[in-house]
């Protein structure tokens, strides 16, 4: 018998993405000819706006097909800095590093900030990759719970209690994936005070900032000069401009940290795709009417979906203020049975929904909230209506 060759400890400590796994399972079933309503993906169902597509064509003809600058084209970095300044966070263009999507931007930042055993505070529910990205770089994620009853607001006292001498950073994600929570200025001021007191970095993931339905999302770097000095802004074009496949994100931060981030990127992917960078520049400079139209449609879907969800017995869902996800609490369904199978967890619930109703959603375990599920409304109204019909039919058949 041939022994298996050794893999790294890292390979066993980092879990696969639960959202990608759910999407893959839905695709596999659909490829077999099964009717599937896929509400797993955090991916806009709109086409990338025409000015952006045209800019990409023009970039090819203009010869943007060579290696790009490691940290991004200067005019794009300038546009990113201007966009941040418009939201109150003033950063030098030299502090901007353009990356292959916001996920790489986060990993770059963690590589530059976290040593083996250092701790990073992660409020829960959290985006599925935060915890495993911290583990990937050798850090220790410290999860701090938030409550639906409080609108998933950050609790300054709980955050403060989680700080130890090994803490180096705190994640803030507003608007939040998966809850749709948007943190008010007072909550962010409390986080800023904590960061200043303990000399911490704040990884502020603002990728959904343009997708809010009541008011505006406050940029963490706008809180104060001291907050700005500690801010690592994570952003990109994927969600706001329907550009997920273009793979452009960025960090914006202190120039000294930006240089370290650039070193990390230089030893992994090098610069982000040249053509996509030119398209991203067009996105940041174009008229925002197409973005506003998308947000208006998400708003309609949000209002429709929240009414449908809260009318289903055993399910309760807080109204999301931003992003494009519902995050309903499904504990009222646990312990019940569907065609003889006991629903002992949200994971079992999502598996049965896919197998028996062809409805694909994501269980809350990967978000640090095992009694919840995430449902994306970055899908057509027709798909949402059919998906909720299937969910309601499934629930009403429970015993």
Give percent of the chain above pLDDT 90.
89
Retrieve residue 299's tokens: 């708003």
Q: Are 177 and 368 in contact (CB under 8 A)?
A: no
**pLDDT, tens only, 295-320:** 999 999 999 999 999 999 999 999 99
Residue 229 clears pLDDT 90, i.e. is over it = yes
Q: Which residue has the higher pLDDT, 8 or 174?
A: 174
Average pLDDT value for residue range 50-76 = 98
Average pLDDT value for residue range 256-268 = 97
Residues with Cβ within 8 Å of residue 145, at least 6 apart in sequence: 123, 124, 158, 368
70 pLDDT band (50/70/90 cuts)?
A: very high
Average pLDDT value for residue range 334-355 = 94
Residue 34 clears pLDDT 80, i.e. is over it = yes
Q: Are 247 and 272 in contact (CB under 8 A)?
A: yes
Chain centroid to CA 136: 18
**pLDDT, tens only, 98-154:** 999 999 999 999 999 999 999 999 999 999 999 999 999 999 999 999 999 889 999
Give percent of the chain above pLDDT 70.
99
Q: Are 222 and 88 in contact (CB under 8 A)?
A: yes
**From CA 215, how far away is CA 12, in angstroms rounded?**
42
Burial class (CB in 10 A: 0-12, 13-18, 19+), 121: buried
DSSP 82: H
**pLDDT, tens only, 174-190:** 999 999 999 999 999 99
Q: Please work out, in degrees rounded to the nearest 5, the angle formed at the alpha carbon of residue 280 by the alpha carbons of 99 and 212.
A: 95
**pLDDT, tens only, 73-106:** 999 999 999 999 999 999 999 999 999 999 999 9
**From CA 233, how far away is CA 84, in angstroms rounded?**
9
**From CA 276, how far away is CA 248, in angstroms rounded?**
7
**Helices assigned H by DSSP within the chain:** 9-13, 18-31, 50-61, 74-86, 102-113, 129-136, 156-162, 185-198, 225-230, 255-266, 274-285, 289-310, 346-352, 381-396
**From CA 371, how far away is CA 344, in angstroms rounded?**
10
The per-residue pLDDT for 23 is 83
Q: What's the chain's average pLDDT? A: 96
1 pLDDT band (50/70/90 cuts)?
A: low
The per-residue pLDDT for 399 is 86
The per-residue pLDDT for 14 is 85
The per-residue pLDDT for 32 is 87
- In order of their start, the domains of the chain are 9-47+290-396 (3.90.1150.10), 51-285 (3.40.640.10)
Selection from 268, 12, 6 nearest residue 135 by Cα: 12
Residues with Cβ within 8 Å of residue 20, at least 6 apart in sequence: none
DSSP 8-71: -HHHHHSPPPHHHHHHHHHHHHHHTT---EE-------SPPPHHHHHHHHHHHHTT--SPPPTT
Relative to beta strand 249-252, strand 37-38 is unpaired
Residue 227 clears pLDDT 60, i.e. is over it = yes
Relative to beta strand 201-205, strand 167-173 is parallel
The per-residue pLDDT for 72 is 98
Retrieve residue 29's tokens: 């079933």
**From CA 190, how far away is CA 185, in angstroms rounded?**
9
Average pLDDT value for residue range 265-290 = 97
The per-residue pLDDT for 9 is 87
Kind and range of the H or E element at 203? strand 201-205
**From CA 82, how far away is CA 80, in angstroms rounded?**
5
DSSP SS3 for 112? helix
Selection from 280, 302, 277 nearest residue 375 by Cα: 302
Q: Are 11 and 339 in contact (CB under 8 A)?
A: no
Kind and range of the H or E element at 375? strand 373-376
Retrieve residue 28's tokens: 């596999």
24 pLDDT band (50/70/90 cuts)?
A: confident
Report the side by side order of strands in the sheet with 96-99. 96-99, 249-252, 231-236, 201-205, 167-173, 119-124, 140-145
């Amino acid at each position: 018998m041939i022994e298996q060759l050794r893999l790294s400890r890292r390979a066993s400590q980092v879990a696969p993405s639960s959202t990608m796994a759910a999407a893959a399972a839905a695709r596999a079933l659909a490829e077999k000819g099964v009717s599937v309503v896929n509400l797993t993906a955090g991916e806009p169902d709109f086409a990338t706006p025409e000015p952006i597509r045209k800019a990409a064509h023009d970039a090819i003809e203009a010869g943007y097909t060579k290696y790009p600058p490691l940290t991004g084209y200067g005019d794009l970095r300038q546009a990113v800095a201007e966009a941040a300044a418009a939201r109150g966070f003033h950063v030098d263009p030299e502090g901007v590093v353009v990356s292959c999507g916001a996920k790489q931007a986060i990993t770059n930042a963690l590589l530059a900030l976290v040593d083996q055993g250092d701790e990073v505070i992660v409020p829960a529910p959290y985006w599925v990759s935060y915890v495993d990205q911290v583990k990937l770089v050798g850090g220790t994620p410290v999860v701090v719970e938030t409550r639906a009853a409080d609108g998933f607001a950050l609790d300054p006292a709980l955050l403060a209690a989680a700080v130890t001498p090994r803490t180096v950073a705190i994640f803030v994600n507003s608007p939040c994936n998966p809850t749709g929570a948007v943190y008010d200025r007072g909550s962010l001021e409390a986080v800023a005070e904590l960061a200043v007191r303990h000399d911490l970095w704040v990884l502020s993931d603002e990728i959904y900032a343009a997708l809010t339905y009541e008011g505006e999302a406050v940029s963490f770097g706008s809180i104060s000069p001291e907050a700005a000095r500690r801010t690592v802004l994570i952003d990109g074009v994927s969600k706001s401009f329907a550009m997920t496949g273009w793979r452009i994100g960025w960090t914006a931060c202190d120039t000294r940290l930006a240089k370290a981030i650039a070193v990390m990127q230089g030893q992994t992917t090098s610069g982000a795709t040249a053509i996509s960078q030119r398209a991203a520049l067009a996105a940041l400079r174009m008229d925002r009417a197409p973005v506003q139209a998308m947000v208006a449609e998400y708003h309609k879907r949000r209002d429709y979906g929240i009414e449908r969800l809260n009318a289903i017995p055993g399910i309760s869902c807080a109204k999301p203020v931003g992003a494009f996800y519902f995050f309903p609490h499904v504990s009222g369904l646990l312990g019940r049975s569907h065609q003889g199978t006991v629903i002992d967890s949200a994971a079992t619930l999502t598996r049965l929904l896919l197998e028996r109703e062809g409805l694909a959603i994501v269980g809350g375990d990967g978000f640090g909230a095992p009694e919840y599920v995430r449902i994306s409304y970055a899908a057509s109204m027709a798909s949402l209506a059919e998906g909720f019909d299937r969910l309601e039919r499934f629930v009403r058949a429970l015993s």
